[in-house]
Amino acid sequence: MAEEGDILNAEIQQEMYIPVRTLGRGAFGEAVLYRKIEDNMLVVWKEVNLSRASDRERADALKEIDILSLLNHTNIVTYFNHFIDGTSLFIEMEYCNGGTLHDKICVQNELFPEEVVIWYFFQICAAVGHIHENGIVHRDIKTMNIFLTKSGLVKLGDFGISKILDSEGMADSIVGTPYYMSPEIVQGKKYNQKSDMWAVGCVLYEVLTLKRVFDASNPLRLVSDIVKGHYEEIDERYTEEMNSLVNKLLSQNPDDRPSVQELLEMPILATLGKEMEKKVWQLNSSTRRARLVTHSSETVPVITSKTCEVYFWGAGKQTPQKVDTFVLGNTATQVAAGHSHFAIVTVEKEMFTWANAHGGKGMSGQLGHGDVACYRNPKRVDALFGIPIKKVACGDEFTACITDDGALYTFGSDYFGCIGCSNELDEEVLLPHKVTFFNDKPVEDISCGDCHVVVMCANKAIYSWGCGEHGRLGLGSEDDFAFPQKIPLPTSCKVKRIYCGPESTFLLTVTGRVLACGNNDENQLGLDTLHSLRKRSIKGHVPSANSPKLVQSLNRYTIAIVAPGKTHSAFVDVYGRLVTVGSNKYGQLGVNDYQHHPSPCQVKGELVSKQVVEAACGEEFTVVAT
């Protein structure tokens, strides 16, 4: 009989994490980037060594984290979970993939435009305002504690933790960089939230000038400069309102410094306030989703050593070739392939493309690098840098991808209208083009055939465009469309996944039913029906379907995965059973013969006792994973 302590409480949440890389190390611990297996979300686990802390200080540490975990603001680094293990405090928090504001300033070669300064400053003020409303004084606002995302969001972090590490009090814990300390602090006077506003002024000055407002190398000289309050004026290119704002924040008298609320009411911020609030909300969608699924129960993190490696072969490569680009912090999470090009989304939600053109086949811009060159090594699509990519799909000579926010980008050949721009661009679109049709219709899923595209929006509406031959667009005809068209479906049909074959489209419903349209020459859609169950002769061959039709031959199964091919298709049901249909000329149905099978076949043999978790169909072969 198991001991009671050996049984995990049902309320304990067990998360699986894969280490990506170490972000940094300090005197009290380190911060490591992890990927959650459940949803591929990147998070940071920060380990803080409490071996030199007293029991009281440990209790204070947990209390402090409890307070921080209650803060919920788009411009504050989100704390997800925490626990103490022995002498270490572990904190799970949001990952900001754009570095710090300090990093940004260090690589800036020219002054920021004022509109960029306002965008950063507005977000900093919003964050500071939130902590002040909760009765918290940050006490360590500086550019190194202001984090960025690649999409342009600003996140205030690293507050409250460092001060609990030093039993001598607050002063030493915030003196790591004394350049942002207010006059009242350096003079040993009492201070309040207006001291944070001084630090905000120092940060604003640094963004405007690319240098610290007080930067003496001698500590005594630095304190003297801070108390005297003498500093250079900002550049004349900035407005008088911006100059006045700096002077007010750097007032020697704390009472003369504006509060956050007073700042936000100033014309320089108030005129764009609502617009910037909306932009921040939209850009922060991924973290918002993360908070919704984070439980308040205790967490037991399970770290695995699982890694992802990328291999490719074919087009002259007879054995798998490892792609060394995607290792460590650049691990791939999704792969897509066209006729001669590849696309990958990494854990950092960046996209890489490259080609393996065989026989001198040229490119049509499907790599998204601004030219038609054939890049044989993976290259990041720089035009999408800073935009978190959620999923990518490849057609024959084009590529399409969707972002975390549901935006859709396409690039490559527009010969069949697959770019979705009504043929208003060049026939070869060399850089990612945003399909504006979906600006107010966030895209949730995407799939591409050889020369058509199908997407599913967040509201579950399905759209298709491109080549309409054989009725693959599901629009009731074989017409081509160069602009997204809504596929008419019964209101009772709730689609959860979409799949494109080279010349077909499959829709998988929430009930595990399958609808299909497009080319059915080899019964690869499973639409053919039988005349006699005894003779199993074909009653009616359906050469194609120009609107989605229920695949009745699969109704005995509850389908979970669809894998369309050119002349055959594979399906996996909820029990992991593999079902194939279509051409069997080369044995691709996996039923130990080369005979024609007019109805779906359940693959047994080696798979009898195995559960299939993934399947893919090539032109004349099938691959499955168990």
Lowest-pLDDT choice from 206-220, 363-377, 523-537: 523-537
The letter for the amino acid at 354 is W
Q: Has residue 553 got a pLDDT over 60? A: yes
Please tell me the distance from the alpha carbon of residue 232 to that of residue 205, in angstroms, as a whole number. 10
Q: Is the dihedral of CA 379, 382, 385, 391 positive or negative?
A: negative
What's the CA angle centered on 156, arms 30 and 276, to 5 degrees? 145
133 is a domain residue: yes
Separation between Cα atoms, residue 595 and residue 568, nearest integer Å: 13
Query: Domain check: are 58 and 161 in the same one?
Result: no
Q: How confident is the model at residue 110 (pLDDT cuts 50, 70, 90)?
A: very high
Q: Are residues 118 and 251 in the same domain?
A: yes
Cβ-contact 127, 156 below 8 angstroms: yes
The contacts of residue 207 (CB under 8 Å, 6+ apart) are: 101, 105, 112, 117, 120, 121, 143
- Residue 539 placed within a domain: no
Percent of the chain with pLDDT over 90: 44
- Which stretches does DSSP call E strand in 62-184? 79-85, 88-94, 146-148, 154-156
Rounded to the nearest angstrom, the gap between the alpha carbon of residue 559 and the centroid of all alpha carbons in its chain is 28
Is it the case that residue 293 has pLDDT exceeding 70?
no
Burial class (CB in 10 A: 0-12, 13-18, 19+), 11: exposed
- Residue 255, SS3 per DSSP: helix
Q: Which of 66, 140, 166, 528 is catalytic?
A: 140
Q: What is the pLDDT of residue 57?
A: 62
C-alpha–C-alpha distance, residues 397 and 364, integer Å: 6
Q: What is the mean pLDDT of residues 380-394?
A: 92
The arithmetic mean of pLDDT across residues 506-520, rounded, is: 93
70 and 110 part of one domain: no
Token pair 């921080």 is found at 68
Mean pLDDT confidence for 34-56: 77
Please report, as a single letter, which amino acid is at residue 145. N
Containing 503, the helix (H) or strand (E) segment is: none
Quote the pLDDT of residue 188: 84
Per-residue model confidence as pLDDT tens digits over 315-352: 566 677 777 777 766 778 888 888 889 999 988 889 99
- Please indicate, yes or no, if residue 34 is contained in any of the structural domains: yes
| Residue predicted with more confidence, 69 or 180 | 180
Mean pLDDT of 478-496: 92
Reported confidence tier of residue 245, pLDDT bands at 50, 70, 90: very high
Q: Which of 8-12, 133-137, 159-163, 611-615 has the lowest mean pLDDT?
A: 8-12
Distance between CA atoms of residues 363 and 225, nearest Å: 61
Sign of CA dihedral 253, 257, 259, 262: positive
Question: How far apart are alpha carbons 358 and 360 in whole angstroms?
Answer: 6
Q: 29 in the Ramachandran plot: left (φ > 0), alpha (ψ -120 to 50) or beta?
A: left
Q: How many C-beta atoms lie closer than 10 Å to residue 596's C-beta?
A: 13
Q: What is the full DSSP assignment across 397-464?
A: SEEEEEETT--EEEEEE-TTSTTSSTT-S-SEEEEEEE-GGGTTS-EEEEEE-SSEEEEEETT--EEE
Residue 162 lies in a domain: yes
pLDDT at 75 > cutoff 60: yes
pTM of whole model > 0.75?
A: no
Per-residue pLDDT at 329: 63
pLDDT at position 480 is: 95
The whole-chain average pLDDT of the chain stands at: 83
Determine the pLDDT at residue 2.
39
Q: Are residues 109 and 90 in the same domain?
A: no
- pLDDT bracket for residue 111 (50, 70, 90): very high
The mean-pLDDT minimum among 213-222, 291-300, 495-504 falls in 291-300
**In this structure, are 79 and 110 located in the same domain?**
no
Q: What CATH number should be reported for the domain holding residue 26? A: 3.30.200.20
What is residue 227's DSSP assignment?
H
Domain that holds residue 48: 10-94
CA angle 441, 447, 449 (to 5 degrees): 130
Residue 472 belongs to a domain? no
> Could you tell me if 59 and 115 lie in one domain?
no
Q: Give the type of residue at 322.
A: K
| Residue 537 to residue 107: CA distance in whole angstroms | 72
Looking at residue 64, its pLDDT comes to: 65
Does residue 244 share a domain with residue 193?
Answer: yes
CB distance 351 to 312 below 8 Å: no
Q: Any catalytic annotation for residue 103?
A: no
Nearest to 519 by CA among 479, 552, 473, 482: 473
For the record, the structure tokens of 64 come out as 């402090």
Length of the chain in terms of residues written = 626
Q: Are residues 112 and 215 in the same domain?
A: yes
Report residue 580's pLDDT band, with 50, 70 and 90 as the boundaries: very high
Least confident of 269-273, 468-472, 522-526, 542-546: 269-273
Looking at 72, 94, 116, the residue that finishes a domain is: 94
Do residues 603 and 580 touch, judged by C-beta distance below 8 A? yes
- In this prediction, residues 114-133 reach a mean pLDDT of 90
556 assigned to some structural domain: no
Number of structural domains (the chain) is 2
Q: Which residue has the higher pLDDT, 596 or 168?
A: 596
Please tell me whether residues 201 and 280 are part of one structural domain: yes
239 pLDDT more than 90: yes
Residue 567 lies in a domain: no
The domain boundary, picked from 245, 262, 290, lies at 290
Q: What is the pLDDT of residue 92?
A: 84
Range with the poorest average pLDDT among 225-239, 285-299, 437-451 = 285-299
Placement of tokens 């006792």 in the chain? 609
Q: According to the model, what pLDDT value does residue 530 have?
A: 59
For the cut 90, the answer to whether the pLDDT of residue 360 exceeds it is no
**Which CATH number characterizes residue 207's domain?**
1.10.510.10
pLDDT interval class at 400 (50, 70, 90)? very high
> What's the average model confidence in pLDDT over 533-545?
65
Residues 212 and 119 both lie in one domain = yes
The answer on 147 and 121 residing in a single domain is yes
Pair of tokens at residue 210: 């690319």
Per-residue pLDDT for 608 more than 70? yes
pLDDT at position 507 is 95
- SS3 for 99-110 is CEHHHHHHCCCC
Same domain, yes or no: 200 and 261: yes
In a domain, 419, yes or no: no
Closest by CA to 193, choosing from 128, 263, 144, 142, is 128
The angle subtended at Cα 382 by Cα 122 and Cα 458, nearest 5°, is 65
Is residue 91 predicted with pLDDT exceeding 90? no
Residue where a domain stops, chosen among 272, 290, 308: 290
